[in-house]
Every structure is written in C-alpha cells, then in structure tokens.
Amino acid sequence: MPPGWRAEAVSGASPERPIIALRREPADGPPLFRLIVIPGSGCTGFAPIAGRYFNGLTKAQIIVLHKPYSNVHAGPAPAECSAEFVGHDALGNWRDDVLAALRQLDSGAAKSLPTIVLGISEGAEILPYLLLAVANPMGMVLLSATGLDPAVAGEMQAERLGQGAAWMRLKETSASSQPDHTVVEGRSLRYWRDLFGWRLTDVLAASGIPVLRVWGSDDALVPREAYAALRSMPAARHLRLCNWRLPDADHGLQGPHGDGIQMLWPRLERWAVSGRLECPDDPFQRP
C-alpha cells in the first residue's frame, strides 16, 4: 500500500460480495471534508496508483470503494477480470453493496464531515443513490461521465463507432429469456439488463445538491454529443450543475494543458473551505 493508506474489508449487501475499501487520512491535521470515490468499470484496483492519483488532495479523508471481487492491486487497466467478478458485476448489486459498506464505515466523527461523492466514468452511475447512506452530503462530482442514463450514452457511443446495429442486438438479447448469468460481450446479462433499465438523470436532478461534471473534449469513450445531450433532458432544468470541460483532454482527463485530476483537487478543497463550488463560465446552470 502507498504510505498513509490502508485497506479494509467490509461486507456488501450479501456476505458473498465483499468490498475492499482503501482509506487515507490527511497527513497534516484533521480532515476538512470527506471524499468517497467510486472507481469506473472493470475490476480496477487503486492500490498501486492511489498515492499518485490523490497526491494533490491534502485536506480530505478519502475512501475508495471497489466493486466486489476487484483486484485492488491490479492497477487501472487489469488484463482480465475473474469469473466471480463477472458473475456479480451489475449496477444494482454495486449500488446495494456500496450502500451497505458506507453504513458500516459511516460512524463516529466522520459522520459530521461535509462529504463529496465522486464517481469515475461508470462509477458515476450509482452516485445519487449513495446519498441514502451519507449523513452530510455537500456535492457530487462526475469524472468523464455524462449524467445521462447509461443506455442513452451507450447508444450514442455505439453510433459514433458505427456499432449501432450491434448495440440494438445487445438490447434485444438482454430482453430475451436467457438466464442472467449468460455472458455476452464480456458481461453477464444481469449486467446488461440493469444497464438498459438504469435511471440516472432524474435521480441526479432530484438530489438537490451541486453537481460538478468534469470531462475532456477529446474523450474517446464518450462522444461530445453525449455530454451536450444532458442540456436537452427535461430533468436538467432542476440540476444544480457546474460543467467543466477540459480542452483536448482524454477520458482520463489527461491532455496538453495538464493533468485534470490534479487540477481538480484544489478546487474541491476550496469548495470544502468556502462552502461554495467555483463554477466555470458555462451557459448552463450554476449552484
């Protein structure tokens, strides 16, 4: 583990779905706020990169919650996920498991800390549901995530890649009578069924708390049109949204103008100190 970090095993919603939480306290003084981080898709492991990734965040208690059966030491792009991971991976499971984990971890003085929940890519899809287990939510951060229902964003990406027909076949297969454990395109049908039925935009808007969306204009995994499409959704009228587009940055928020992740941390710390989110000059909406 990186210096200052520790790993803790907690139970998910079911005993057969354990979650590994990585935790770090500020090196200097008590925390000003708490940051709960939900990694992206796949069996990503933050242990090898946590020290570097969160290096610029000095005033927060950090909790990173991995999907059950993730290899926390595998790094950001593991070559292969286990059969156990594939069998249990689904948005509904993930939401329920993180809620259960947060209720175990949310105790003592930590409950009084202002809390920001941050989702990376697919991790953003469960964020607003987690507020049920957060005592003092201050805001949400979507990193390289649109805020659209995942089926809507997925279809737009499929069309961008010329795979619209394949996406429709996948949707049809998910509606078939095949069992949930059937693996299609590397995921179980339970995963795809949850994805096609998942609601994010309305739940995000109903939260009532500020949402900071950070994304790169050269994101190869999400088309610009998907980021822009949120504006046309009826629920968007109620979103307290700050939209921060990083010019020429990729899905990992890396680009010629710098490391977007490290640019984000000072903004979050100023948010925690002042109680007000700095919103870039954006024509949409502000908190």
pLDDT of 287 = 34
Residue position matching structure tokens 């933050």: 46
Residue 237 confidence (pLDDT): 83
Does some domain include residue 108? yes
Which residue shows structure tokens 């059937």? 182
Q: Kind of pairing, strands 254-255 and 258-259?
A: antiparallel
Q: Any idea what the Cα angle at residue 168 is, between residues 166 and 171, rounded to 5°?
A: 115
- pLDDT beyond 50 at 187: yes
Residue 85 domain-assigned? yes
Q: Is 56 exposed, middle or buried (0-12, 13-18, 19+ CB in 10 A)?
A: middle
Percentage of the chain surpassing pLDDT 70? 94
Distance CA 201, CA 204 (A): 5
Q: Domain containing 101 — which CATH number?
A: 3.40.50.1820
| Residue 77 domain flag | yes
Q: What pLDDT score was predicted for residue 286?
A: 37
**In this structure, is residue 209 part of a structural domain?**
yes
Instruction: Check residue 251 and give its pLDDT.
Output: 95
Distance set, CA 182 to CA 69, 150, 188, 191, 260 (Å): 18, 21, 5, 10, 38
pLDDT digits over 31-81, tens only?
Answer: 999 999 999 988 888 999 999 999 999 999 999 999 999 988 877 766 688
Query: Per-residue pLDDT averaged across 71-97, rounded?
Result: 87
Question: Which of 182 and 16 is assigned the larger pLDDT?
Answer: 182
Of 184, 168, 172, 157, nearest in space to 251 by CA: 157
158 found inside a domain:
no
* CB 58, CB 266: distance < 8 Å: no
Q: For residue 188, is it within any domain? A: no
DSSP helix/strand/coil, 37: strand
- H-assigned helices in 215-255: 224-229
**Per the domain annotation, does 250 fall within a domain?**
yes
What is the count of structural domains for the chain?
Answer: 1
Using the predicted structure, report yes or no on whether residue 285 has a pLDDT greater than 50: no
Amino acid 104: pLDDT: 86
- Give the mean pLDDT of the chain: 90
Give the C-alpha separation, 189 to 185, whole Å.
9
Here the tokens at position 195 are 């994805």
Between 196 and 284, name the one with better pLDDT.
196
- State the pairing for strand pair 33-38/211-216: unpaired
**231-276 confidence digits (pLDDT tens):** 888 888 888 899 999 999 999 999 998 999 999 999 999 999 898 8
Q: If pLDDT is split at 50, 70 and 90, which confidence band does 108 have?
A: low
Residue 284 is predicted with a pLDDT of 39
Q: Which domain holds residue 204?
A: 5-146+199-274
Query: Is 193 contained in some domain?
Result: no
Q: Are 126 and 119 in contact (CB under 8 A)?
A: yes
